[in-house]
C-alpha cells in the first residue's frame, strides 16, 4: 500500500497518509482540501482520524481537530492539495511500474497483483491491472482496460471499455497555468452490472466512483469521477454523466443526454433523449429539453 508520512508536509506530525478523500465525506488517513467558505464541513472530521487537510488561511480550526489531524495552510488550498496529489501519484506510479505483466494464453495482459477467478472469461487484447479485483463469472470482451477497480459477480464489459480511467479535474498555479489533479480513488462495481462498448468510467477523485448492483450502461457513455449510480440505473447510448453526480435507483438516462457535474437525480426519474440537465431532478419526475425542464403531456 502506498504511504506518505505527513511529517513531510506538516512539522510536528507523524502518521501515514494512504489515500485521498473529500471534506464532505472524509476517511481516516487521507488527504483533502477545504476553503474558508465551507469551513462548516470541518465538523465531518470529528469521526475520522489522522487526516491531512490543506486549508485556506483564516479557516478556524477547533483545537481538538488540530490535535488529531494535520493542517497545512495556504492562500490556494486546492493548488497545495494538487501538488501533494501529484507527488502521491508519482510515487504510486513508481511502485506500479515495478509490477510485472503477463501475456496469458488467452491473449490478454494481467498484472501480477491481480487474481483472475477460474470462471472468468477474458478476450484477447484486454489489460487487467494494476489494483484490480474481479468477481465470479465475469465476461470482459476484447480490448477492454481495467485499472484500480473492484468488480462484483456476473459482470459484463463489452468491447473496448475503459474502467478506471483518469478523471478530469484541474487546479491553476500561481501563473494561471493548468495543473491536473490526479484521480487517486478507485471504481467500485457491484453484481450483475453491464458496461457498454467504448464506455469510459473514471476513477474517483475525492473518493470512489461507485456503481451498484444491476446497473446497465449502453455504448459510448462517459462517467465522470466520483459518480454514484444506485441499483438498477439505466444509461442509454451516448450519455455523459458529470463528476460527483448521483443517480437514484431505477432512474433512466435517455440517448445522448448530458448531466452537468454535482447534481442529484432521484429514484425512478427519467431524463429524456438529448436533454441537457443543469439542475437536480426530483424522484419520479420526467425532464427533457435543453436546458431540461419538467415534461408535461399535452
List active site positions: 225
Cα 90 from Cα 254, distance rounded (Å): 39
Strand partners, 241: 223, 259
- Measured in degrees and rounded to the nearest 5, phi and psi for residue 249 equal -55, 140
In sequence order, what DSSP letters do the residues of 138-155 get, joined into one string?
-EE-TT-EE-SEEE-SS-
Pair 149, 204: CB distance under 8 Å: no
Cα 221 from Cα 293, distance rounded (Å): 22
Q: Count Cβ atoms below 10 Å from residue 5 Cβ, excluding itself.
A: 11
Cα angle: 69, vertex 70, 72; to 5 degrees? 145
Pair 214, 195: CB distance under 8 Å: no
Cα 219 from Cα 199, distance rounded (Å): 6
Cα 247 from Cα 194, distance rounded (Å): 16
Amino acid at each position: 500500500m502506498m504511504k506518505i508520512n505527513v511529517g513531510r508536509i506538516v512539522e510536528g506530525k507523524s502518521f501515514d497518509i494512504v489515500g485521498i478523500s473529500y471534506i464532505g465525506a472524509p476517511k481516516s488517513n487521507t488527504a483533502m482540501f477545504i476553503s474558508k467558505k465551507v469551513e462548516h464541513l470541518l465538523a465531518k472530521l470529528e469521526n475520522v482520524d489522522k487526516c491531512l487537510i490543506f486549508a485556506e488561511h483564516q479557516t478556524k480550526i477547533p483545537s481538538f481537530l488540530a490535535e488529531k489531524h494535520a493542517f497545512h495552510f495556504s492562500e490556494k488550498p486546492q493548488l497545495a492539495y494538487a501538488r501533494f496529489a501529484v507527488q502521491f501519484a508519482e510515487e504510486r506510479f513508481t511502485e506500479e511500474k515495478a509490477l510485472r505483466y503477463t501475456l496469458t494464453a488467452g491473449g490478454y495482459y494481467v498484472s501480477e497483483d491481480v487474481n483472475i477467478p477460474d470462471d472468468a472469461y477474458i478476450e484477447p487484447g484486454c489489460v487487467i491491472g494494476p489494483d484490480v479485483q474481479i468477481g465470479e463469472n465475469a465476461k470482459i470482451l476484447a480490448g477492454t482496460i481495467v485499472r484500480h477497480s473492484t468488480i462484483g459477480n456476473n459482470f459484463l464489459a463489452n468491447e473496448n471499455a475503459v474502467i478506471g480511467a483518469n478523471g478530469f479535474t484541474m487546479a491553476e498555479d500561481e501563473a494561471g497555468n493548468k495543473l491536473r489533479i490526479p484521480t487517486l480513488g478507485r471504481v467500485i462495481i457491484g453484481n450483475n452490472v453491464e458496461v457498454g462498448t467504448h464506455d469510459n468510467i473514471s476513477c474517483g477523485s475525492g473518493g470512489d466512483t461507485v456503481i451498484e448492483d444491476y446497473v446497465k450502461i449502453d455504448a459510448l457513455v462517459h462517467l465522470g469521477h466520483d459518480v454514484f449510480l444506485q441499483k438498477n440505473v439505466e444509461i442509454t447510448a451516448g450519455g455523459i454523466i458529470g463528476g460527483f453526480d448521483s443517480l437514484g435507483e431505477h432512474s433512466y438516462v435517455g440517448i445522448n443526454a448530458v448531466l452537468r457535474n454535482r447534481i442529484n437525480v432521484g429514484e425512478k426519474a427519467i431524463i429524456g433523449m438529448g436533454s441537457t440537465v443543469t439542475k437536480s431532478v426530483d424522484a419520479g419526475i420526467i425532464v427533457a429539453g435543453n436546458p431540461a425542464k419538467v415534461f408535461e403531456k399535452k
